[in-house]
Amino acid sequence: MSDTTLAKGYEPAEVEARWLEFWRESGAGTADPQAQGEPFSIVIPPPNVTGALHMGHALNLTIQDILCRHMRQKGRKVLWVPGTDHAGIATQNVVERSLGKEGVTRQALGREAFVEKVWEWRKDYGGRILNQIRRMGASVDWTRERFTMDEGLSRAVREVFVRLYEEGLIYKGDYIINWCPRCQTALADLEVEHAPKKGGLYQIRYPLADGSGELVVATTRPETMLGDTAVAVHPEDERYAAFVGRMVRLPLTDRLIPVIADAYVDREFGTGALKVTPAHDMNDFELGRRHALELLQVMDGQGRMNAAAGPDFAGLTREECRKKVLEALQEQGFLVKKEEHDHSVGECYRCKTVIEPHVSPQWFVKAGPLAQVARKAVEDGRTRIVPDQWTSTYYHWLDNIRDWCISRQIWWGHRIPAWTCQACGQLVVSREDPAACACGGALNQDEDVLDTWFSSALWPFSTLGWPDKTPELAAFYPTSVLVTAFDILFFWVARMMMMGQHFMGEVPFRDVYIHALVRDGEGKKMSKSTGNVIDPLVMIDKFGTDALRFTLAAFAAMGRDIRLSEDRIEGYRHFVNKLWNAARFSLMNLPAEIPAADLDAEGLPLHHAWILHRLEAVKAATGPALEGYHFNEAAQGLYSFLWLEFCDWYLEMIKTDFSGDDPQAKAVAERCLWTVLSELLTLLHPFMPFVTQEIWSHLPGHAEKDLSKVAYPAARPACVRPEAEAAMNLVREVVVSVRNIRSELSISPGLKLDCLVRTADAADLSVLLGNERLIMSLARLATFTAGPGVAAPKASASAAAGGNAVFVPLAGAVDFDAELARLGKELAKTAKEAEIVGRKLANEDFTARAPAEVVAKEREKGEMLREKVAKLEELRARIEGLRG
């Protein structure tokens, strides 16, 4: 016997810490670009350096690690690149808040000193998210860890900016952008989150300049009327045909503005007349450009009204100005009415401040030409989006893309490599910091930094060493798959597609796998405000990493959100324990050296032939399921095999082999058990790396002690025996029939029963007689009889097993009177409970006033009780028949 050192119970914390250190020291996960094998590469979606692990990260990491570990098993050379994003706005906000506690502002520190403070913060705290990624068991290549502002990536960012500028794809110009008055920076369209708000729709009179009439416009933002430069109506709107080309007097000001016609106007909204404020509304800006309207900016970058708003309003906040404008309109008779109006309001994705459209000089990428190429790559099948339902969403965004505003008015980030000459005004864009202008004048660098998404758009090739021609770039680009969430399909995925093809001439990844959202057990989105967040680190501490990973994989059905609860994670902790206990039993019965018994022979006993056949089926299904991104199918197949076949049946079957006196039977059982457990650990390893590695390290007969380096189990065609599966199914049906009879009639588990089977044909008879010993052991039988002429004994329970009839004589095994008395009491109690629930549901006050979920639970309870009553009545009638 081998000396088992597995503890009685599995303790994840100690095991995980030990193997994490082992894999760190051994360099597991380190890729060799020169190694043999087809490449497989993944770049990790870089979490913000300010971030902490959440359940979305946990799912994403689990999926990536399963793929990487599986591909290593299949002989691929795998590179999984880790790293973090510098998260410009978020990180600057964190450091500013920290300084604020000391009474220090970034302005007081100055730019250089503030940036140094941010680097210090990153050194002290920036590794937190990476350590949490380690705890998930992620087998990334830690020797190639990257940061979006490290030296290599910064060089790549500057190279890309300069090339795009030289190609005319980057330009600077006045444009309306989303502006956050709190963060004091521009935001890309995708960085604006829209939230439903209750507001007002205000109708305001705009009198014609000649006093012959008036137009009534409707607006949700009356404070911006101070910047109106036109009123627009639809060219086909007969109500206003006579107004087009005339002038109206703008209320509260001395200005006259024209009435213009444009098909953009929605005739059904409000009054059908639209106030046009080109400097303070995205759509009005485009309308203004079409009609050459004046850009009148009446609000500054702080969200306060400026001098152009007029002396009565200058200096007021947006909110203060709205109130004062409405009061003035009311007093002067211009306000017609106010209606309640629900509308969507844009907010900064970081600080939730209401954004303000703002015209200012910004840097832009001409997105149109790049977007067309990114779209065509998916159309042509060079990149596949999985599941396909997201492809149309991807197309829609690219088809409607606007130029990408890439400048941000903050200090933390890649500073824009552009300088302006103070002498001649020349703009210099350069890969290297220039000393002076060609004219000899001094140069001032642009104060802005680049949008964080600009650097992360280069991630698939910049992390591999571009712009240098590195071995990693040659071996691992394009990457194999990107695993990500749908919410950054536009922020990141599409932009990587643009940049990858433009600079590498090839798509950045072959597949994009979009995983689902992790919701709470009720299907609600997790959020701190609702208090339903499940912290993955808390779950790891409580149940272990393997339990969390397997839970996520088991529910990761393609295109379907995951409903996660602590109970579900605890349930898969029991699965981890099941594997542990099965391994303990196996190790106690295995020798130090594994016998070289032949497992491909035709003459194997049925239980061995059956489990080996089932193992081949699981091996054949698991690989393709993972490679097709059906993680839940692979996980559930392994779960069923381990729990329902290996543990519940096979381990019970081989106990007679180990306790018997036949050395050959024992040797075959040892070899088969060792083989199945070894290959099962290998199949489970990508899902549950820690517990499988710990068990593997105690399993005798393996030269390779690191399970992460063990190949995917090879197929054994000779072990594919469907006839063995059919025969074992019959044996199990007979055993289950006896067990069900024993359970239904409350027969003591220790009492051995008699069993008779009337067989349907000679083949079934041969299977049953050939496995008589096995059936008697599993069903705890005193005698077993089978044959075509078997008759049902008096007072016997019966069941069907395929086309065969199973009989269990009950004389002496069941006290019919006592059982009927017990059933009578249970039936009366259950019927009374069902009646109480029925009365409650018949009460209209209860069904009308109680919460819907409470009523639903009561209905479910009532249905369950009614079903139980029916089953008890059926069982009572059956026992009365047997007694009679």
How does strand 83-84 pair with strand 146-147? parallel
Q: What values do phi and psi take at 795, rounded to 5?
A: 50, 55
In the DSSP assignment, the letter for residue 415 is: B
Note the pLDDT of residue 880: 77
Containing 728, the helix (H) or strand (E) segment is helix 722-744
Answer whether residue 875 shows pLDDT above 80: no
Give 787-801 as a DSSP string: ETT--PPTTEEEEEE
Answer whether residue 471 shows pLDDT above 50: yes
Nearest 5°: the CA angle 389, 514, 63 is 145
What Å distances lie between residue 616 and 66, 113, 605, 859, CA to CA?
20, 64, 17, 45
Structure token digits, residue 798: 């019966």
Residue 830 lies in a domain: yes
Q: Hunting for tokens 């941010």 — which residue is that?
A: 118
For residue 753, what are the β-bridge partners? 781
Note the pLDDT of residue 816: 74
CATH at 318:
3.90.740.10
Q: Which residue has the higher pLDDT, 814 or 836?
A: 836
What is the distance between the alpha carbons of residues 337 and 334, in angstroms, rounded to a whole number?
9
Residue 158 lies in a domain: no
Note the pLDDT of residue 188: 67
Structure token digits, residue 20: 């994490």
Helix, strand, coil % over all residues of the chain, rounded to 5 = 50, 20, 35
What is the distance between the alpha carbons of residues 270 and 221, in angstroms, rounded to a whole number?
13
Lowest mean pLDDT among 510-519, 537-546, 725-734, 740-749: 740-749
Q: What is the 3-state secondary structure (H, E, C) of 572-617?
A: HHHHHHHHHHHHHHHHHHCCCCCCCCCCCCCCCCHHHHHHHHHHHH
Same domain? For 810 and 835 the reply is no
Same domain? For 129 and 144 the reply is yes
Same domain? For 240 and 336 the reply is yes
What is the distance between the alpha carbons of residues 49 and 53, in angstroms, rounded to a whole number?
11
Which residues touch 465 (CB under 8 Å, ≥6 apart)? 152, 472, 473
Domain stops at, among 518, 550, 568: 518
Give me the mean pLDDT over the 576-590 stretch. Answer: 96
What is the distance between the alpha carbons of residues 20 and 29, in angstroms, rounded to a whole number?
12
Going by pLDDT thresholds of 50, 70 and 90, the confidence category of residue 416 is very high
Going by pLDDT thresholds of 50, 70 and 90, the confidence category of residue 190 is low
Domain stops at, among 785, 814, 843: 814
Same domain? For 28 and 93 the reply is yes
Q: What's the number of domains the chain is made of? A: 5
Same domain? For 485 and 565 the reply is no
Same domain? For 88 and 42 the reply is yes
Structure token digits, residue 470: 């590195």
CATH at 859:
1.10.287
Containing 180, the helix (H) or strand (E) segment is strand 170-180
What is the distance between the alpha carbons of residues 762 and 687, in angstroms, rounded to a whole number?
44
Give 190-225 as a DSSP string: GGEEEEEEEEEEEEEEEEBTTSS-EEEEEES-GGGG
Going by pLDDT thresholds of 50, 70 and 90, the confidence category of residue 775 is very high
Same domain? For 118 and 222 the reply is no
Residues 725 and 614: beta-carbon distance below 8 Å: yes
Note the pLDDT of residue 259: 96
Same domain? For 199 and 288 the reply is yes
Same domain? For 272 and 201 the reply is yes
Residue 89 lies in a domain: yes
Q: What integer best gives the mean pLDDT of the chain?
A: 92
**Secondary structure of residue 666 in the 3-state scheme:** helix
Give me the mean pLDDT over the 248-267 stretch. Answer: 93
Note the pLDDT of residue 225: 95
Note the pLDDT of residue 601: 67
Q: What values do phi and psi take at 434, rounded to 5?
A: -75, 150
Structure token digits, residue 172: 């600077």
Note the pLDDT of residue 350: 73
Note the pLDDT of residue 269: 86
Which residues touch 680 (CB under 8 Å, ≥6 apart)? 615, 638, 641, 642, 646
- Of 131, 130, 123, 81, the closest CA to residue 459 belongs to 81
Q: Could you list the residue range(s) of the whole structural domain that residue 62 is in?
A: 12-151+456-518
Note the pLDDT of residue 811: 84
Residue 177 lies in a domain: no
To the question of whether residue 528 is assigned a binding role by annotation, the answer is yes
CATH at 619:
1.10.730.10
Q: Assess whether the previous peptide bond of 82 is cis (omega < 30° from 0).
A: no
Burial of 647 (0-12, 13-18, 19+ CB in 10 A): middle
Domain stops at, among 312, 329, 357: 357
The torsion of the CA quartet 373, 378, 380, 386, rounded to 10 degrees, works out to 170
Note the pLDDT of residue 4: 54
Going by pLDDT thresholds of 50, 70 and 90, the confidence category of residue 330 is very high
What is the distance between the alpha carbons of residues 647 and 627, in angstroms, rounded to a whole number?
27
Same domain? For 320 and 205 the reply is yes
Looking at 282-415, list the stretches that DSSP marks H as alpha helix, in order from N- to C-terminal side: 282-290, 318-331, 367-379, 391-399
Structure token digits, residue 246: 């005339």
Answer whether residue 66 shows pLDDT above 50: yes
What is the distance between the alpha carbons of residues 376 and 370, in angstroms, rounded to a whole number?
10
Q: Please list, residue by residue across 742-776, b when 16 or more beta carbons sit within 10 angstroms of its beta carbon and e when fewer do.
A: beebebeeeeebbbbbbbeeeebbebbeebeebbb
What Å distances lie between residue 378 and 44, 502, 699, CA to CA?
21, 15, 47
Answer whether residue 3 shows pLDDT above 60: no
In 10 A of CB 444, how many CB atoms?
11
Give me the mean pLDDT over the 19-25 stretch. Answer: 96
In 10 A of CB 781, how many CB atoms?
19
pLDDT in tens, 98-136: 998 999 988 899 999 999 999 999 999 989 999 999 999
Residue 717 lies in a domain: no
For residue 357, what are the β-bridge partners? 178
Same domain? For 223 and 341 the reply is yes
Residue 634 lies in a domain: yes
Residue 524 lies in a domain: no
Residues 207 and 248: beta-carbon distance below 8 Å: yes
Residue 715 lies in a domain: no
What is the distance between the alpha carbons of residues 700 and 694, in angstroms, rounded to a whole number?
13
CATH at 474:
3.40.50.620
Same domain? For 220 and 326 the reply is yes
What is the distance between the alpha carbons of residues 480 and 378, in angstroms, rounded to a whole number?
15
